[in-house]
Amino acid sequence: MPDQKLLDEKWRWLALSSYTALAFYALAAITVAPDLIYLATGIDTNPRVWSFLQLWTIFLGIIGRLILQPREGALRRRLILAVVLLGTIFVAVQAMAQTTERQTMQVLVPHVIKWEGTHRCKDAPQMHCAYLDIVGVPTACFGDTQGIKLGDRFTDRECRKMLDRRLSKDYRAGLHRYFTPVTIATRLTPERDAAYVSLAYNVGIRGAGRSTATRRLNAGDIAGGCQALTWWNKAGGRMVRGLVRRRSAEYTLCMEGAA
């Protein structure tokens, strides 16, 4: 009986204190985390990140198996576990954000290119030349106006690089500051995200962020928010047929998956 009691205590100590056991618990959590995140939020996270975390945890478990683990080191092991768990949570959050952004960009970039069109140089069709848009603003590539002046020229690669950076780092990031955490987590599908960012790219972050469309979406009125996107169909005080069609396309994107 004393031997049985000693064995029980040893197993309990090993289960709570050893590096290998803690790594096993962490591996189990990492394995089920993507499914739990999907069930809770509907977001597909990046599988490569989770695979990396699984391999890293297995490596830590192997290393831990080779380390002498005296009883007096329990506090240090718990601190190490806490650091590993916090790091895992941080990487998981980043994986969710990166995956969602990538999915949005896959929808957003072709949409913007389609509606902005291209303006090639007459003397060099392989280049993009700056031009004046419908309200007289110097514009280049796919609707970019930042720092643009007439006479500027860009290659296809330069235009695409500018568009990707502006849509992701400027317009999407800027517009998301106007959304509530609940909206970002549960209402902003890649298609709906693309529709709203497209509006912001066309009318400005402040205008889109303070619009009725954004307020309605934050309040949970998805259909009403999508409908309000279509109100932005004027330029220079008059309705423009091209903007009516563009807003209609954004409305269709926005309503995908809406109940």
Domains and CATH numbers, the chain: 2-99 (no CATH), 124-154 (no CATH), 157-255 (1.10.530.40)
Q: Has this prediction a pTM greater than 0.85?
A: no
State the pLDDT confidence band at 59, using cuts at 50, 70 and 90: confident
pLDDT at 7: 46
- Residue by residue, DSSP assigns the chain as -HHHHHHHHHHHHHHHH-HHHHHHHHHHHHHHHHHHHHHHH-PPP-HHHHHHHHHHHHHHHHHHHTS---GGGHHHHHHHHHHHHHHHHHHHHHHHHHHHHHHHHHHHHHHHHHHH---EETTEEEEEE-EE-TTS-EEBTTTB-TT--TT-EE-HHHHHHHHHHIIIIIIIHHHHTTS-HHIIIII--HHHHHHHHHHHHHH-HHHHHTSHHHHHHHTT-HHHHHHHHTT--EETTEE-HHHHHHHHHHHHHHHTT--
State the pLDDT confidence band at 222, using cuts at 50, 70 and 90: very high
**Residue 113 scores a pLDDT above 70:** yes
- pLDDT single digits (tens) 69-107: 555 555 665 666 667 666 666 666 555 555 578 889 999
pLDDT at 6: 46
pLDDT at 51: 75
